[in-house]
Amino acid sequence: MNRDHQDWTQPEPIWRENCTIDSFDPLTEDVTTDVLVVGGGITGITTAYLLTKAGKQVTLVEADELVNGTTGHTTAKVTAQHGLIYHEFRKHFGDEDASLYYQAQMGALRLMEELIDEHSIECDWVKEDANLFATTKQGAIKLEKEYDAYLYLDIPGALTEALPFDMEATKALQMKDQARFHPVKYLAVLVKELKEMGCAIYEQTTATDVKEEDCIYVSTNNHHTITCDKLISCSHFPFYDGKGFYFSRMYAERSYLMAIEPEKEIPEGMYVSIDEPKRTVRTAEYNGKPILLVGGESHKTGEGVDTSFHYKIIEEFAAETFGIKRKLAQWSAQDLTTLDKVPYIGPITRRNKNVFIATGFRKWGMTNGTLAAQLISDYVLGEESLFHELFKPSRFKTDPSMKQFLSQNFDVANHLIDGKLELVADRPERLRKGEGKVIQWRGERAGAFKDDDGQLYMVDTTCTHMGCEVEWNGAERSWDCPCHGSRFSFDGSVMEGPADQPLPDLSQELMPLDEHNHEGQEDQLEESE
């Protein structure tokens, strides 16, 4: 892809630019394997690598293309500095668990470094300090408390008063010796290693259903069955719930990122603000040149203003702070947060020893995904880990889990009711090319999108997961559910779970159009009102 001739507003990450990763055919027959890994991001690929290397027969399936989901849309920071968490973790979980969390993340960083050295992976791996910064007095106080936690937990860091770029800060907190890298270059080598070791990999193969009997039987979208002893869900949101009710124990957020060639000098390090509005800044390499990745604007999926507005805000911040010589790309990501901010990694339920999940990485998927690969590999191989208890999915901490559980599910109930009561006045004939919105169709709420050629797509806006009403995401041309984070393409096909069925297509209710004339469609739309 040549970005010099590309419309920069399209939400495409830079990581696949001039970087290829092996492709694989869909599954075409029933297969049997020791371990089935579902999901082709950093978690699934690393898990498959560790288990294959340990001698297990492993099959990896990906619903789309490898490294094209959350991993392909990351900021690619490799750090244990996951926002303001260590002071909070000490208070809620105790000093031992807070320390274990840091040790686990740093262990993941070291594993990535070892794999890079072992396979001589050229992936722009750079060791840098990670920094939190505050822009208010209240934020400065929070950073001082977080620094106290660093000192108590023996986390290498430093408290400073200024930033190395043109933005006023009241305080900044540094965590030493973290890293950044190019995720596709890194994972492309691991995929090649998997092929050479005999791991079976299938793309465009969606796991759709699970039956647990003497073995585990996983059905796929292409009408084949994979029989396995162990099943590992690394599909961002677990494709199989297994009565773990994960849809009620996590919430989804979207955030936005822009790659720019700045006019001002590029600062070293990685930076995340703790005050509103949240901002993230980090350096990267692009076509041999240093660039900046600037992002933020997080909001719950399906909520907020027109999503294209968030890109405009980030652009304004980047222009004011660094100057923009050239805009290179922009993209967004979806992240899941658990009730207590610690990922769910391990057996899907307390009594199930054969199905494992890895989810809820809360924007920090590079270390958490690698950590999940380590922990689940230990489970499968029958090895103990210091970290199993901390991350086990069946845990439930009264504080803060109960508060978050009630808050999130009350929010879901509100969306469920409000969506059904919403009065919609817009009509599909009013849509411009490239526009989508909720409209009224034959007296009911529906979703409509008109593509650049004037073709109209219409869907039922009731989410197929639990019946909430989806909202239009103009930046990604998708329908997003505010209840549990399911996302659907403009034509209703599933992009992200927990929904596993598409939105019902209403387009068949329209007359076929002459490919050169859309007047018939417009007349029909007028008649339907």
Per-residue pLDDT tens over the stretch 470-514: 888 887 788 888 877 788 888 988 888 788 888 989 887 665 444
For residue 63, what pLDDT is reported?
92
Determine if the peptide bond prior to 393 is cis (ω within 30°).
Answer: no
For residue 509, what pLDDT is reported?
65
In a domain, 320, yes or no: yes
Q: How far apart are CA 135 and CA 318, in angstroms?
A: 16
In a domain, 309, yes or no: yes
Q: Which of 335, 356, 380 is the last residue of a domain?
A: 335
- The SS3 call for residue 197 is helix
Give me the phi and psi of 399, to 5 degrees please. Answer: -125, 115
Phi-psi label, residue 2: left if phi above 0, alpha if psi -120 to 50, beta otherwise: beta
Give me the phi and psi of 415, to 5 degrees please. Answer: -65, -40
In a domain, 510, yes or no: yes
Number of domains within the chain: 2
Which segments within 89-215 are labelled E, that is strand? 126-134, 157-160, 171-180, 200-202, 207-212
What would the DSSP string read from start to end of 100-129? Answer: HHHHHHHHHHHHHHHHHHHHT--S--EEEE
- The SS3 call for residue 527 is helix
pLDDT in tens, 37-57: 999 999 999 999 999 999 999
What would the DSSP string read from start to end of 274-309? Answer: -SSSPEEEEEEEETTEEEEEEEEEEEETT-SS-THH
In a domain, 7, yes or no: no
For residue 290, what pLDDT is reported?
93
In a domain, 415, yes or no: no
Q: Which of 292, 320, 335 is the last residue of a domain?
A: 335
How many C-beta neighbours within 10 Å does residue 352 have?
18
Kindly report the length of the chain: 529
Q: Which of 308, 335, 362 is the last residue of a domain?
A: 335
CATH number of the structural domain spanning residue 461: 2.102.10.10
In a domain, 496, yes or no: yes
What would the DSSP string read from start to end of 10-25? Answer: SBB-STTTT------P
Q: How far apart are CA 141 and CA 145, in angstroms?
A: 6
User: 37-47 as b/e, with b when 16 or more CB fall inside 10 Å?
Assistant: bbbbbbbbbbb
Closest C-alpha among 59, 67, 64, 5 to residue 32: 59
Closest C-alpha among 124, 366, 363, 164 to residue 257: 363
Within the chain, which residues score under 50 in pLDDT?
Answer: 1-10, 410, 412-413, 415-417, 419-421, 512-529
Radius of gyration (C-alpha) of the chain in whole angstroms: 23
CATH number of the structural domain spanning residue 267: 3.30.9.10
Phi-psi label, residue 526: left if phi above 0, alpha if psi -120 to 50, beta otherwise: alpha
In a domain, 220, yes or no: no
**What is the residue range of 261's domain?**
251-335
In a domain, 311, yes or no: yes
HEC sequence for 324-346: EEEEEEEEEEEEEEECCCCCEEE
CA dist 398 → 224, 337, 339, 387 (Å) = 42, 17, 10, 20
For residue 403, what pLDDT is reported?
54
